[in-house]
Structure 1
Amino acid sequence: MLIDTTLREGAQMFGVRMGLEERQTVAMGLSCMGVEEMEVGWAGLEELEAFCRWSGRRLGKSAISVWSRCRESDIIEAARIGAGRINIGVPASDEHRRKRLDITRRALIARMETVIALARSYGMDVSVGLEDASRADAKWLGKLALKAENAGAFRVRLSDTVGIWTPTKVMKAVSELRERLVIDIAVHCHDDFGMGTANAMAALDAGADWADGSLLGIGERSGLAATEELTGYLELIDMSGSYRMEGAAPLCARIARLADLAVPRNKAVVGNDIFACESGVHLHGMARDPNLFEPYSPESVRGARRLGFSAKSGRSLLKTVLGNKTSADADSLLEQVSDHACRTGRPLTMQECSELAGN
């Protein structure tokens, strides 16, 4: 299952501002995609109360959660605005514990237990986010997670705060906790070294119940795992039957405009050119069966297949355009196609190749 945090982590991206209307539009889009949970902000966020009042039953089966610090004041504020699920951040590494909170391990456990008890007294489902888990001592991380479970949390969320996990490392961390815990395990994998989505998928394979993502992976620094990539893989490859991918590209385009980002044309799942092809080997295979070079159909994500021709396409493929004409004709056409592609800075369409061939 997935937790989309576009409206919390994504909203923390440098320079990004999200008003109530934008938050509502994004939330509706995520609900249509079938995301199981949305982390919609943090305790104290302006307009969060209005968003929680608005959401009601509009978001279908998608659960709504709010992030908070490990402070009683945040819990009281979250309860005031009607939050039913809360994600409490608890620093797991000694560096974060000492430098941010300046308390002992024993004191941290006591504070966490008090805050969990308070949230539960308000009727909230409690998830505990173990921050900087990737740099925490493994034994201490396990103890902290077990204390959260015993205090009544329904989930612990391991955060790779600085994106240093690899798939093998996150699988090891999740597997070790899975042996000790009964409650759910989630991961929050940052993308500082480009492994956010891979780490999130590895964690799910290792037994994690939840993985965080945000649309286009936006968030602090280089962001985190991308929701559209996670839902895409789970739906189109694992065939989970849980997600609807048709609206992913337009929703990501909206986020790109909001965050002033340019979506690369080869961006996984939602890029404009992910079904575009001009190399000879690929074009030849596509003519036989598109599945040879496509992991899923363009229709599944409302994409479009585009075939282009240039010097990369090769002489033999151009014979398809020429029909039964000679190899010499193919050589001539390849030269014309190559010249035209160089001058225009783009591959030619099938129709343009046919016109050059005189067909």
Structure 2
Amino acid sequence: MTAKRRIKIFDTTLRDGEQTPGVALTAEKKLEIAHALSDLGVDIIEAGFPINSEIEFLAVKRISKEVDTTVCGLARALKPDIDRCVEADVQLVHTFISTSPQHLKYQMGKSEDEIYKIAVEAVEYVVDHGLPCLFSPMDATRSELNFLIKVCKGVEEAGASIINIPDTVGVMIPSSMRELMKKIREEIKIDLDVHCHNDFGMAVANTLAAVEAGCNQVQVTVNGIGERAGNADLEQVVMALKILYGIETNINTEKIYPTSKLVERLTGIRIMPNFPIVGDNAFAHESGIHVHAVLKKAETFEPIKPEMVGARRRLVLGKHVGVHGIDAKLKELGIEVNPEQLKEITTKVKDLGGKGKRVVEEDLVAIAEDVIGMVPKEERKVELVDLVLNSRLSKKPIASVILRVDGKEKKATEEGVGPVDAALNAIRSAIGEEKISLEEYHLDAITGGSDALADVTIRVSKGENVILARGVHEDVVMASVIAFINGLNRILKIA
């Protein structure tokens, strides 16, 4: 049996990823990420640019010492840069120089012959120190092809172990990248690497195209972070190679999601909810039809199992959710309900979703417990038909209610010290039950944010009978009214 093709993963989260605007990792954070990358199974960790600062140098040196993975340091094609990498005890030196006409004219101010000589001498200098060398002709994808190949051949002869082809400003499309890499592959015998930027959203596609053309190694960052629009992201590249191409890597895919969340937390760069593989919505389902199918057979609407990347499936509760989705989530939470209760819970969740509320697990638990605690619909003596509140700074709030009591409409208007007090006074007045007392009132916000559901628990008494009741709603007054009416129905049933 033919062995599967295997691609090496070169991770540059700690170097190119740290060039993301606003990201500045401490040495401790860099070390924590480096350990996570090592556990993840990347083949090479580009730990930083040692010449950049003493802090950067010490961080790279510490990572080289403590992490059990090949550690690479970045160096311009300058002897002092390379010396600093050697002093940092890295196991691989990544040296680079620009080769495009734009860079030669406006950045370097040098001729092609000068660039060629500098590149070859830099690689020879690394090799003379007994270290393997990865060479990058920066801005390769905008370089003149003959000169690019000449430089690649020169550094290969000088002893480079790997040549990286960077799409420095992300201008390639997959067909062009595939063609370029094929031409370079025909001329170069050592390993080829690719480094794609995401300026046009092509980084992952271009990376995969390079692999199709014979590339042996890919440069990626966790969550695709990096300068400007970022880099090819590790998660998508690794899983596309595995699932779509049948190509293996050394990555332990079950650690992809935890590593992604660690980098998100330590860098402060939030992952978009719809980001492939690791975004919050990558394995989330809300549509009732989709949820029903996913619960029967996950493959109906999922290309991979979330467990493959260390994530889990989420059934999102919103306006599109169906009975099957709610039922599955309740069972997952260990909550048993009858068909009537399930229907009522589903209605409440869909109503909240229709108002733009994202219902999370804590909300669902509160809604379910609220519904479970209700008197069955056919046994309810009191139902709310309408509630109108009039609240002004200079006067006490006034509440007007319309109730259905034993099938007959009852109306009342009362004031109170606050809107909740006014509403409850009006309800008492409408049903004519003055002996019913509110003994205790407790309000909780289930989740954070201004749109959090209000969870009201009350103690209601009539004579010697005392019961607890609960109401959940996005409006505090309505949550209080629901709790009070739930309490009324229960106490009137036993009184």
> Would the TM-score normalized by the shorter structure come out above 0.5?
yes
User: Conserved in 2, the CA contact under 8 Å of 1:93 and 1:136?
Assistant: yes
Give the superposition deviation at 1:282: 1.7
> Which residue is 1:54 aligned to?
62
> Which residue is 2:267 aligned to?
259
Equivalent position SS for 1:100? helix
Equivalent position SS for 2:171? coil
Deviations 1:295-344 (CA, angstroms, capped at 9, x unpaired): 221222232222245553579999999xxx9xxxx999986654342246
The answer as to 2:224 corresponding to 1:212 is: no
> Which residue is 1:285 aligned to?
293
Q: How many residues align?
A: 355
> Which residue is 1:184 aligned to?
191
Deviations 1:40-74 (CA, angstroms, capped at 9, x unpaired): 111313334433443456433x2111111111221
Give the superposition deviation at 1:162: 0.7
The answer as to 2:313 corresponding to 1:301 is: no
Counterpart of 2:357 in structure 1: which amino acid?
A: G
| Equivalent of 2:175 in 168, 175, 184 | 168
Counterpart of 1:155 in structure 2: which amino acid?
A: I
> Which residue is 1:66 aligned to?
73
> Which residue is 2:45 aligned to?
38
| Structure 2 unmatched ranges of 5 or more | 1-7, 331-338, 378-495
Counterpart of 2:271 in structure 1: which amino acid?
A: V
Deviations 1:55-101 (CA, angstroms, capped at 9, x unpaired): 456433x2111111111221222223323311111212111122222
Query: 1:86-235 alignment to 2 at 5 Å?
Result: 86-235=93-242
Classify 1:184/1:278 alpha carbon distance in 2 versus 1 (closer, same or farther; 3 Å): same
Q: Distance in 1 between matches of 2:173 and 2:323?
A: 43
Percent identity, aligned pairs only, is 26
Deviations 1:135-163 (CA, angstroms, capped at 9, x unpaired): 11222211211111111111111111111
Give the superposition deviation at 1:130: 1.2
> Which residue is 1:242 aligned to?
250
Give the superposition deviation at 1:221: 0.8
Equivalent position SS for 2:96? strand
Over the aligned positions, Cα root-mean-square deviation in angstroms equals 3.2
TM-score, normalised to structure 2, is: 0.64
Q: Distance in 1 between matches of 2:264 and 2:258?
A: 10
Worse overlay, 275-284 or 18-27: 275-284
Equivalent position SS for 1:312? coil
Higher strand share: 2
Equivalent position SS for 1:139? helix
Deviations 1:80-129 (CA, angstroms, capped at 9, x unpaired): 33233111112121111222221111111111111111111111111111
> Which residue is 2:353 aligned to?
341
Give the superposition deviation at 1:211: 0.9
User: Conserved in 1, the CA contact under 8 Å of 2:288 and 2:322?
Assistant: yes
Q: Distance in 1 between matches of 2:309 and 2:107?
A: 43
Q: Which has the larger radius of gyration?
A: 2
| Structure 1 unmatched ranges of 5 or more | none
Worse overlay, 272-281 or 144-153: 272-281
Give the superposition deviation at 1:233: 3.1
